[in-house]
Amino acid sequence: MSTRLAELKDISIQFGDRPLLEHINMSLHQGEIVTLIGPNGSGKSTLIRTLLGLQSPTTGDVIRHATLRIGYMPQKLHIDPTLPLTVRHFLGLVRGVDKRDIRPALEKVGIPHLEQAQVQVLSGGETQRLLLARALLNKPNLLVLDEPVQGVDVNGQVELYHLIASIRDELNCGVLMISHDLHLVMAQTDTVVCINQHVCCSGSPQHVKGHPAYQALFGVPGAEDSIAIYAHSHDHVHDDSGEVVEEGHVHSASCQHHH
């Protein structure tokens, strides 16, 4: 059994009187890649922010192992476009960074040739690699990646997921990441957690892909017409057969949370 790094225990989050997350349980281990998947606005980033301590849960606990060191890759790079800033300088801004670690981090993510490039001119894929390099500078044992393949074409996404898996192999770190495409990420993930307010289903990618709750949200593989990942409207919820339920969440035997 690998070392447990962190645990989310019965996390619920409410904004005003709107419940966003309900009774989420999740564990993160050394050497394991966990992928969070769920519709837009389902609370994935909020859950990650809760793990990071940036968001307080309404109820529930975040348990962090004493040795936990998180390397966080945010969803977006916010940089003033008029500010001249090289890749090397950008990484040098990380608090407590040892400048000797910059070059190896860039090598690890495959962009050492961009050390002197301006960050504003990087392509989508290069920008994501830079953010990944920054997350690695802290010598983390848990990488937390909020949509690491954002703004990258399909081939680039596959490459990035391979890169993340090879970094996991090399560092034996844990990884928690958000993805929008189970099919692209499934070869490089150990565990998938599908959330839509609560944990709809979780387990191996194969298990989740075949689960009715996943299929209700993302469509049945092969039935192209029913795939509606981005067109999905969330003013309603589904039960596990995919039926639309007007109000509230309907519990069923496949729900993996406490009733």
- Residue numbers at the binding site for ligand ATP (CB under 6 A): 15, 20, 38, 40-46
Distance CA 27, CA 34 (A): 9
User: CB-wise, 43 or 60, nearer to ligand ATP?
Assistant: 43
Tally of residues, the chain: 259
DSSP alpha helix (H) spans, 64-191:
87-92, 102-108, 124-136, 154-171, 182-185
Nearest residue to 87 via CA among 70, 105, 69: 105
CB of 27 to ligand ATP, least distance (A): 20
Q: Which of 144, 182, 147 is nearest to 51 (CA)?
A: 144
Shortest reach from residue 45's CB to ligand ATP, in Å: 3
Q: DSSP strand E in the chain: where? A: 4-15, 18-29, 33-37, 59-64, 70-73, 142-145, 174-178, 191-196, 198-203, 237-238, 244-245
> Which lies closer to ligand ATP via its Cβ, residue 22 or residue 87?
22
Please identify, using beta-carbon distances, which residue of 20 and 52 lies nearer to ligand ATP: 20
What's the Rg (C-alpha) of the chain? 19
Toward ligand ATP, which CB reaches closer, 150 or 191? 150
* Residue 33 C-beta: closest distance to ligand ATP, Å: 18
Cβ of residue 185: shortest distance to ligand ATP, in angstroms?
14
Task: Pick the closer one to ligand ATP by CB: 38 or 57.
Answer: 38
Residue 161 near residue 184 (C-beta atoms within 8 A): yes
Nearest approach, Cβ of residue 239 and ligand ATP (Å): 20
